[in-house]
Amino acid sequence: MARIFITGSSDGLGLMAAKLLVKDGHEVVIHGRDRERSKTALEKCPGAATVVTADLSSIKETVRLAEDVNALGQFDAVLHNAGIYLVQHRTLTLDGLPSVFAVNSLSTYILTCLIHKPKRLIYTSSGMHLSGEPGLDDLKWERRSWSASQAYSDTKLHDVLLAFAVARKWPGVYANAIDPGWVPTKMGGPGAPDSLEDAPKTQVWLAVSNDPAAQVSGQFYHQKSRRFNPVAADVSVQDLFLKECHKLSGIEFPG
The catalytically annotated residue of 152, 186, 201, 224 is 152
Q: What own/partner pairs with CB < 8 Å and gap ≥ 24 does 55-58 have?
A: 56/7, 56/8, 56/82, 56/102, 56/103, 56/107, 57/93, 57/94, 57/99, 57/102, 57/103, 57/107, 58/93, 58/94, 58/95, 58/102
Indicate the residue type of 97.
L
The active-site residue out of 19, 123, 156, 174 is 156
Check if 140 is active-site: no
Residue 152 designated active-site: yes
CA distance 78 to 206: 10
**Angle between helix 59-71 and 107-114 (nearest 10):** 30
The Cβ of residue 229 has, within 10 Å, a number of other Cβ atoms equal to 20
Residue type at 42 in one-letter notation: L
Active site residues: 152, 156
